[in-house]
Amino acid sequence: MGARPNFMKIAPVIDALIALDDDVTQTLVHTGQHYDEEMSQVFFRDLGLQTPDVNLGVGSGTHAAQTAAVMSACEPVFEQARPDWVVVVGDVNSTLAATLTASKMGLKVAHVEAGLRSYDRTMPEEHNRVVTDHLADLLLTPSRDADANLAREGIAAERIRFVGNVMIDTLISLQPAAERRWPDLSGQFNSAGLLGLGEYALVTLHRPSNVDRPEALKAIMDDLAFLAESMPVIFPVHPRTRARLDAMGIPANTGNTGESGSVTMVEPLGYLDFLSLQANARLVVTDSGGLQEETTFLGVPCITVRENTERPITIEQGTNTLVPSSGLREALVKALSQSGRAASARPSIEYWDGKAGERVAAALTGALGGS
């Protein structure tokens, strides 16, 4: 694992393998793709993850440099361990690099969260997904549409196992702890006058298509300022986005968008605090893949600022609305016209049940069979 979303996905698998069979030995390898306190260590504490057995410390870099660094660092680790399975999660550069390395060494690879497709080859993550899935020996999918995607690409059915959404396992297990955080957390924000009467919007942005183009980021920030005229807007700022805002002269510690309102920007939050804010929000605006799933499970309306999504189930069965950046203002107007969150908004999706990690563990140890 290497990036923050990986942590939430691997934790249930580790726990399930421990519970399933004491004879299973696990080595947890952290590539160091996300390496600072806010993006890494705080998540280990919140998720109760063990300290990694190996930390490769590759850090940041271009896609090519980072992928090459992970491959070079993984090779001696894999050579020494010679594992029965190399388990990779998600779609980040670490996922691809570990898969390439293991495959070239003749080691079996299992991909957790396989089969997702945006069909947008401008996204680096799409390349990572496709290559990883075509090299992996066992493809562990979160939803039925992912199975169909793999079948269309000619991947043999015996390599595919529908196990469900491991990230929802983490959400379910930690939601009580997040709820216990709410009184203190809301008190902190309220004391600063940020939550008003209780309705607020929560924002995350980090994708290059939104934050690397100054004109796109400026337009999004102006739309968020428009939203802030109707309700408080809380924006935990990803380091990538902070750098872009600083370059535009919008300091991340002031929250001043400069046009028609203000957005309160805060430092990145730990998993429990962010989940607490997310669960109690009137609206989430994001370009994250995982938040589309989490908001769907929580029944929180979500506006995803992207041209496409690899998680269409969150639109078809969930609470997610997909809009390009040029359509954000219109989507916000529509969201504001609706009277709060519908009591029936929380959907039930197959195998988003808190037991996906158990099904992954069963597949890895051969107990799942061909079902």
CB 286 within 8 A of CB 302: yes
Residue length, the chain? Answer: 371
Tokens of 196: 């008003």
Chain-centre distance of CA 59, in angstroms? 19
Beta bridge partners of 235: 265
Q: CA-to-CA distance for 120 and 129, rounded, in angstroms?
A: 11
Tokens of 1: 């694992």
The closest of 201, 167, 217, 210 to 303, measured between CA atoms, is 201
CB 305 within 8 A of CB 324: yes
CB-neighbour burial class of residue 120 (10 A; exposed 0-12, middle 13-18, buried 19+): middle
The DSSP symbol for 259 reads S
Mind telling me the catalytic residues? 206
CB 202 within 8 A of CB 282: no
H runs (alpha helix) in the chain: 4-20, 42-47, 63-81, 93-104, 124-135, 144-152, 166-191, 208-211, 214-228, 239-247, 271-279, 289-298, 313-316, 328-337, 356-364
Contact partners, residue 178, CB within 8 Å, separation at least 6: 272, 273, 275, 276, 279
